[in-house]
Amino acid sequence: MDKTSFYKRLNGLKDAYPNECTLIESIQNIFNKTITPISNSNKKALKIFPEQFIKRIPRGHGEWTTMLHIWAENGLSDLIYISPIVLTTKNSDGDSVLMTLVLSATGKYTEQIDYDLIQKILNADLSYKYKSNLTNEQELGNVWEETDINNKTPLEYLYEFSTGTGLFDGQLPDEKLKIMLKEFVNKTDTNETRI
C-alpha cells in the first residue's frame, strides 16, 4: 500500500489545525506501525530478485518512478538489505532509491523524522562491486556517492538537513541527527570500505 496519499491528507490537517498536531501525529504513528507498504510475497521477491522492481511506472507529464522508489517514499527499511547497486536506480527526478529513502526518513512525505530508519541506513554497508566499462575490471562503488540532479549525495543532504544549511537554509539544526552523523563519520574513518 502506498501510504504517501494518506500522509498528504494528514499533513494538510496539520496545517489546517496546528493546535491538533500531537493528536494527528499520534494517528500517523499508529498508522505507520500497523500498515505495511509491502505485501509478504513482494517482500520475499524483493529479497530474492530486487531488479524486477526497477521497471518504470508512469506518473504523468513525462515523469516516472519505480516500485523501489514508492517503497522508499513509504520508508521501507527492507530496502537497505538488498543488493546496494540496485539502490543506485534513479527516478525521473534524478533521485536514487537511497536518496528517496533518506528523503522519507527526514520527513519529506510525513513531516516526521524517523531516526530509527536513519540509523539503519547509516549502519548498512552500501558498498558494491561492478565491472568498469573502461578497464573491464572489478571496481568498488558506494551508494553514498550517488548524486542527485542537484549534484548532492544522500550524505550531503543529511548533513545540510542536520545543520540547517544549503537546501535547508534557515531551518533549525537537528542536534540529534548531527550526533548520529558524527558517529557515522567516526566509524567510516576506521572502516574505509563504507564510503
Question: Which of 90, 86, 119, 89 lies closest to 102 in space, CA to CA?
Answer: 119
Identify the pLDDT of residue 190.
58
Identify the pLDDT of residue 147.
94
Identify the pLDDT of residue 6.
72
Q: How many other C-beta atoms can be found within 10 angstroms of the C-beta atom of residue 42? A: 17
**For domain 36-190, which CATH number applies: 1.10.3470, 3.40.720, 1.25.40, 2.60.40?**
1.25.40
- Taking only the tens place, the pLDDT of each residue in 29-73 is 777 777 788 899 999 999 999 999 999 999 989 999 999 999 999
- Taking only the tens place, the pLDDT of each residue in 38-50 is 899 999 999 999 9
**Grid coordinates given for 72:** 522508499
The Cα-based distances of 18 to 5, 13, 27, 30, 174 in angstroms read 20, 8, 15, 19, 21
Helices 175-190, 154-163: axis angle to 10 degrees equals: 140
The Cα-based distances of 152 to 72, 94, 148, 159 in angstroms read 18, 11, 5, 11
List of residues 6+ apart from 56 with CB closer than 8 A: 64, 65, 66
pTM for the model: 0.84
Stretch(es) of the chain classified as CATH 1.25.40: 36-190
Which residue ranges in the chain fall short of pLDDT 50? 193-195
Identify the pLDDT of residue 193.
45
CA–CA separation, 73 and 99 (whole Å) = 10
